[in-house]
Structure 1
Amino acid sequence: MSATVSERTHRWSWSPLTVRLMLAQTAVLAIGLIIVVITAVLVGPRMFHHELVETGHADEALGLVHLEDAFRSVSLTALTIGGLPALYLAGMLTFYLYRTIGRSLASFSAAAGEVAAGNYDVRVTSTGLGPEFDSLASSFNDMAAKLDAVDTTRRQMLADLAHEMRTPLASLKGHLEGIEDGVVQWDERTTSILYAQITRLERLARDIRQLTAAEEGMTHLQLTPQDPSRLAAQAVAAVQQDAAAQDISVTSISTGMEVTPVLVDRERMGQVLGNLLENALRHTPPGGAVTVHTDYAPEAVTVTVTDTGEGISEEHLPHVFERFYRANTGREAHRGGSGLGLAISKSLVEAQGGSLEATSEGPGRGTSFRIRLPHHTPTD
């Protein structure tokens, strides 16, 4: 559970910043009051005398020295009565304001320390000091939440990666030990097994690198107007030979009133379609079919890869785009995939401003992966 800093903040204490701010504010108020007193006591009477002289009452002015003294005394008394309480109230308000600011800064400082220490569950609450502080608190909480998500993903990915590497490494170690002990013959079969496991590790490393680049926005995209149906046809042509070897038919169809190009990266979109087709072929039995359907609509172009294969149960469907997720672990491990193809595809499609979703009516009823590409330039 996440905790707020204010819930863990101890009794407020004077901070050097608060003291300096209060002293500066009090000095400003005191200097202002002194200036007002000097003006009222010294300058005021002289101005009063000068006005009498200017208006032709010089004789009366000479006899009104006692009035100047009275004016000075009254002004000083009024300023004392009104100024000192005003200075006191201003000091109290300043104390309250800077105490609140100090608490807010202390909470942000404590929260930043928690985040630096690896506690990403920390949150700061609104201090009620205005929209600027509320926006700062919201931004900080968003940052902490994203760091928490990244850290969780990193930990999960490392655990999954270690799990995925365990099988090929164990196979390599077992065969090498068998060769050293003379139990396993160094022949063509053994060589092919070792190369297959090395290839699997290389594919895993490549896919991890691609997925990390896509999710962190580091993939360099060259967005140009492309016809999705043509890209789909090229992807289908690339897998025709493998599909024929598995006795699976692969076709590409296009519907819609008008062929409208969309801004995509040709190479990356081809990679996505290739991943989806390879995934469909792995999960479609001999005699099955895979269809790539491109549909042109006014608001977007959709490319749907549909197979007549195993299908996905309802409980597994929300997780198909997660790293290393396999609905049937025992069988999936021997099919050559790294478990990252769908995650890479989703990240690449989203990087180009589109979306990728999966649907299935259940086990044995096939699966559809639908790419939606809107008619606008993806935002960075």
Structure 2
Amino acid sequence: MKYSLKAKLSFSYVMVALISILLISVLTNQFLEKQFREYVQQNQEQKNHTVAVSIRQQYLGEEKWNYAAVESIGINALENGLIIKVTDASGEVIWDAKIHNNGMCQRIIRQMSQNMNTHYPNLKGGYVEKPYPIIVDDKEVGLLNIGYYGPFYLTENDLAFINTLNKLNVAAGLLAMLFALLLGLVMAKRLSTPISRVIDAAQMISRGYFGGRISEKSSTQEICQLTESVNHMAQNLENQEILRKRLTADVAHELRTPLATLRSHLEAMIDGIWQADCDRLQSCHEEIMRITRMVGDLEMLARYDNENLTLNKTQFDLSGLAKQVVQNFESAYVKKGVTLNYSGGEEGIRADKDKMNQVLSNLLSNALKYTPAGGQVDVSVKGTLHTVEVIVKDNGTGIAEDDLPFIYERFYRADKSRTRLTGGSGIGLTITRSIVEAHKGKIEVGSKLNEGSEFRVILPRQADE
């Protein structure tokens, strides 16, 4: 049988509370009983001492006693459960409770024994007598024997007090159990409700509905982290779904144009409208090569996405490579009227030189495409103790803030027009990031619309093999 999370949590809280209350009750009861025993024993000793002092005060000197006062003290002690016997220095009995009222003494002993055996059957107590010498002026003038149930005994009032205390403990335990039950239900609901919402959201995500979000807040840190993770996952899946649909549309668009051109040219030549001369065939060949390059880029990206991408690492000067790539682009920049600047000293690095060439070429190509005539592109290479940075900064059209998270996605271009003047296949930055991450580096971008962009590639000098 399966139970809900709320039921399990409630049961767990109640069981923990019950066990805790039971342990506390048992330990409290044992502690109070121990303390009460010690109190009774101390009180018994205090009573004996008080009786001994009172008896000593009845010695009149010269072996004379106040017999009436001794008898009064003995009767009063008997009523309090103490059976006393007083003798003088010669051993002659001055007063004895058993002689005075032996029947009453026996009843007191039986009553004490019955009370103690009922409540403390394992105590193994019994009637005991304790002697107290009567000392006056450093001279023993007599002996006091006090008999009582030992090691201690409880009067009717003491037993009534213990019973009342036990009842209070039981009542407090029941109230605590009720409070624990209510608290467990409340806490279980507070914990299970957001988890249930997370389950509902996860089920919606599993069915392909990514728009739902969990808006409720929880005071539990772990539940907040769980809801944030589910919301973040839903957001990412929703973004990926949007990108997937856009990727399909972009690929269709990129293939549709050259295929439509090929189809129109071939149909015109088949229908005899155009002659199959070199110019017409050359135009068809260019469109075929365009499709071929796109397929080649996709194959290259698939290889770079593979975790087993092979890097042919060598030690070389990254600044020298960057300077060479800048020189290769100089003519294209001059033709468009964009200024290209370079700065940086020698920076040694161990990496795949060909792939670093491709990274630099992609960044410079993008900067050229999105920087209008009269603009400027700055390339710099600088290093630290463990890393080398390549910075490509332009003052071109820039990238909108909403587009920044997606610029590394396949076929994603911030320029929605997708004309031939604004770019190729749209996977250059995707390949660039794959190469950089394969070298255990990272690529960062900062951009403002109509102000320009800055791409920063950070690479370790000695990448792990």
1:32-51 paired onto structure 2 within 5 Å: 48=120, 50=122
The TM-score normalised by the length of structure 1 is 0.66
Aligned residue for 1:160, secondary structure, equals: helix
Partner of 2:442: 353
Q: Which residue of 1 aligns with 2:125?
A: 53
1:136–1:75: structure 2 CA closer, same or farther, 3 Å change rule?
same
> What one-letter code is carried by the residue in structure 2 that aligns with 1:108?
V
Q: Confirm whether residue 18 of structure 1 aligns to residue 18 of structure 2.
A: no
Query: Is the contact made by 2:378 and 2:392 (CA closer than 8 Å) also made in structure 1?
Result: yes
Matched, 1:372 2:456: yes
Q: Which runs of 5+ in 2 are unaligned?
A: 34-115, 130-146
- The aligned counterpart of 2:358 is 271
Sort the Cα spacing of 1:284 and 1:132 in 2 relative to 1 into closer, same or farther, 3 A.
closer
Aligned residues: 347
Q: Deviations along 1:220-240, whole A, 9 cap, x unmatched?
A: 474766422221244357668
Instruction: Tell me the SS of whatever aligns to 1:197.
Output: helix
The question of whether the paired residues in 2 share the 8 Å contact of 1:229 and 1:254 is answered with no
Q: Is the Cα contact below 8 Å between 2:442 and 2:459 reproduced in 1?
A: no
SS of the residue aligned with 1:372?
A: strand
Q: Does 1:197 align with 2:281?
A: no
Following superposition, the deviation at residue 90 of structure 1 comes to 0.4
Give 2:180's match in structure 1, choosing from 83, 90, 106. Answer: 90
Change (3 A) 1:142 1:313: closer
1:188 aligns with one of 241, 254, 278: 278
**Is the 1:295–1:301 Cα contact (8 Å) retained in structure 2?**
yes
| 1:127-178 CA-partner distances (Å, limit 9, x unpaired) | 4342222222222222222222222222222222222221111112223333
| Alignment check: 8 A CA contact 1:354 1:372 kept | yes
Higher relative contact order (CA 8 A, sep 6+): 1
The answer to whether the Cα contact below 8 Å between 2:127 and 2:148 also exists between their aligned partners in 1 is no
CA apart distance, 1:92: 0.3
Q: One-letter code of the match for 2:428?
A: G
Greater Cα radius of gyration, structure 1 or 2 = 2
Is the 8 Å Cα contact of residues 228 and 294 (structure 1) preserved in structure 2?
no
Task: Indicate conservation of the 8 Å contact 1:160/1:324, yes or no.
Answer: no
- Asked if 1:115 corresponds to 2:202, the answer is no
Query: Over the residues paired in the alignment, what is the CA RMSD in angstroms?
Result: 5.2
Is the CA contact (8 Å cut-off) linking 2:342 and 2:379 kept in structure 1? Answer: yes
Residue aligning to 2:221? 131
Task: Name the counterpart of 2:248.
Answer: 158
* Secondary structure in structure 2 of the residue aligned to 1:355: strand
Could you list the per-position Cα deviations for residues 92-150 of structure 1 after superposition, in whole angstroms to 9, with x for gaps in the alignment?
A: 00001111111021111011122223332322245434222222222222222222222
- Seen in structure 2, the aligned counterparts of structure 1 residues 263 and 16 have a Cα distance that, compared at 3 Å, is same
Aligned CA distance change for structure 1 residues 141 and 328 (closer, same or farther; 3 Å): closer
CA offset digits 1:303-331 (Å, max 9, x no partner): 5488xxxx845788997957245587556
**Structure richer in strand, relative to its length:** 2
Distance 1:317 1:138 in 2: 23
How far does the alpha carbon of each residue in 1:164-216 deviate from its partner, in whole angstroms, 9 at most, with x for none?
A: 221111112223333443434444334333332222122223334556777x7
Shift in Å at residue 332 of structure 1?
1.9
Counterpart CA distance in 2 for 1:281 and 1:38 is: 83
Tell me which residue corresponds to 1:8: none
Go from structure 1 to structure 2 and tell me whether the alpha carbon gap of 1:247 and 1:34 turns closer, same or farther (over 3 Å shift). closer
- Once residues 52 and 292 of structure 1 are traced to their aligned partners in structure 2, the CA distance between those partners, rounded to angstroms, is 100
- CA 1:252–1:173 in structure 2 vs 1: closer, same or farther (change >3 Å)? closer
| Contact in 2 for aligned 1:294/1:304 (Cα 8 Å) | yes
Alignment CA distance shift 1:35-1:353 (3 Å) = closer
Map of 1:237-276 to 2, 5 A cutoff? Answer: 243=331, 255-256=343-344, 258-262=345-349, 265-276=352-363
TM-score, normalised via structure 2 length:
0.56
Deviation per CA, 1:264-303: give whole Å up to 9, x if none.
5433321122234556777999xx9998854446696445
Change (3 A) 1:267 1:71: farther
Does the 8 A contact of 1:305 with 1:369 survive in 2? yes
| Rounded Cα–Cα distance in structure 2 between residues aligned with 1:94 and 1:252 | 70
Q: Which amino acid aligns with 1:353?
A: K
Q: Give aligned-pair identity as a percent.
A: 25
Aligned residue type for 2:456:
R
1:100 pairs with 2:171: no
Question: CA 1:318–1:231 in structure 2 vs 1: closer, same or farther (change >3 Å)?
Answer: farther
One-letter code aligned to 1:144: A
Contact 1:276-1:305 at 8 Å conserved across structures: no
Equivalences for residues 319-334 of structure 1 within 5 A: 323-326=412-415, 332=421
Deviation of the 1:361 alpha carbon: 8.7
Please report how far the alpha carbon of residue 74 of structure 1 lies from its aligned counterpart in structure 2 after TM superposition: 3.2
Whether the 8 Å contact between 2:390 and 2:457 is mirrored in structure 1 is: yes
Which consecutive unaligned segments of at least 5 residues does structure 1 have?
1-14, 363-367
- Pair 1:283–1:114, CA change in 2 (3 A): closer
CA contact (8 A) 2:445 2:454 kept: yes
1:122 is paired with a residue whose SS is coil
Name the structure 2 match of 1:79. Answer: 169
Q: Contact 1:249 / 1:289 at 8 angstroms: preserved in 2? A: yes
